Structure 1
Amino acid sequence: MAQLNTKATLSDISLRPFKESDLEDYMILMSDDKVSQFCRWNTMCKEEAFNELIYAICTHPWYRAICVKDMPIGYILVKQGEGNDRCRGEIGYVLGSAYWGQGIITHAVKMVISSIFSELQGLERLEALIDVENLRSQRVVDKIGFIREGVLRKYWIHKGRTRDMVIYSLLNSDSTVHG
């Protein structure tokens, strides 16, 4: 990630599964304090990042690297519920801070939405849970057409503080999914 020019065109953006050879780029992302500000994880050492990449990410059913010219600069994932919750999934995304403000995440989320409802059997609802202070991420889902449903007060503990989260949703039947 550090070797690439941080100006990207949307045609250079692709999504693909992570590979073991992505460890160095993944490490750069996972050690960026600006990136981890609103994330569930803390900065990782190389061994922790390797274990996360190999045992959690590479085996996850829908976890993709966001790439510029095949170089990972972030990630996007969808976690589908199980059993009676199979109709809904949660989307999450992270982008290296050097790439913020270029529309890359918005483009990547649109790429996911264009196919995720047909890829994951039974998925009808996609949710995004976003920290109330993470206005950039809220703008992403607003632009795409997610519906802001409300604030989940004192929803989770993040780095020692109880946090409020905004919940957004997008349904398979929403016009932005098909139009």
Structure 2
Amino acid sequence: MDPSSSSTTFILRPFKLSDADDILEYTGDDQVTKFLFMETMTTRDEALTYIKHVCMPLSWHMSICVNNCSIGFVSTYGHEGHKANIGYCVARKYWGQGIATGALKMAVKMVLKDFPEIVRLQAYTDVENIGSQRVLEKAGFKKEGLLRKNTLIKGSVVDDFIYSFLSTDVIEAVNH
């Protein structure tokens, strides 16, 4: 079996307020949020605020769902005409199952269709986040280089790798 394909069925859909408990479950895990801009959540109110003020207002922020439960997200941000940034997060119990890779592939197809002006999607990942680097590479993103002291995460300025996917790149089949 291709390690980037998932045997777990998932969908991408917009967030709902009823996702708050699911979001709290994965964003309340320090290992999941270790490389994210967001702080680890501790209350349902924080999750509701996140849905209302981050998920819903963003033009493209989707929940990754298994059995109608939110287990993560994929989103674009920083749209600048021809390019946008893309990021993702998956609950720890779903790591290593190909869901992040499959969701990212699916998201790339959807974003490029929804925003035909975008010719470049880019992703930044901490040099220590080996799992995310593997997800990006399996999803067809190309590593372009090292950005030294690029991102402020949890009070530390860290080095990132930058990856890109161009609208002319080939997206392999998505299994979900």
TM-score w.r.t. structure 2 length? 0.89
Q: Give the corresponding residue for 1:58.
A: 56
**Secondary structure at 1:176 match in 2:** coil
Higher relative contact order structure (alpha carbons within 8 Å, sequence separation ≥ 6): 2
- After TM superposition, the runs of 4+ consecutive aligned structure 1 residues lying more than 4 A away are none
Pairs aligned (count):
168
CA distance in 2, matches of 1:177, 1:120: 20
Q: Which amino acid aligns with 1:53?
A: I
- 1:101 partnered with 2:100: no
Deviation at 1:22, TM superposition (A): 0.8
Deviation at 1:9, TM superposition (A): 2.8
Report Cα offsets for 1:112-133 as digits up to 9, x if no partner.
1222212114110000100000
Q: Give the corresponding residue for 2:114.
A: 119
**Secondary structure at 2:171 match in 1:** helix
| 1:6-155 alignment runs, 5 A limit | 9-10=7-8, 12-44=9-41, 45-81=43-79, 85-155=80-150
CA distance in 2, matches of 1:24, 1:178: 32
**Secondary structure at 2:57 match in 1:** coil
Q: Which amino acid aligns with 2:65?
A: C
What do you get for the CA RMSD once the two structures are aligned? 1.8
Q: Which amino acid aligns with 2:64?
A: I
Q: Could you say if the C-alpha distance between residues 177 and 170 of structure 1 is closer, same or farther in structure 2, counting changes exceeding 3 Å?
A: farther
Q: Is the 8 A contact 1:152 1:166 kept in 2?
A: yes
Higher helix share: 1
Report Cα offsets for 1:16-41 as digits up to 9, x if no partner.
00101111111111101110111111
CA distance in 2, matches of 1:132, 1:93: 16
Q: After the TM superposition, which of the residue ranges 39-48 and 134-143 deviates more from structure 2?
A: 39-48
Deviation at 1:55, TM superposition (A): 2.1
Deviation at 1:80, TM superposition (A): 4.7
Q: Is the 8 A contact 2:139 2:171 kept in 1?
A: yes
Q: Which amino acid aligns with 2:48?
A: F
% identical aligned pairs = 37
Unaligned runs of 5+ in 2: 1-5
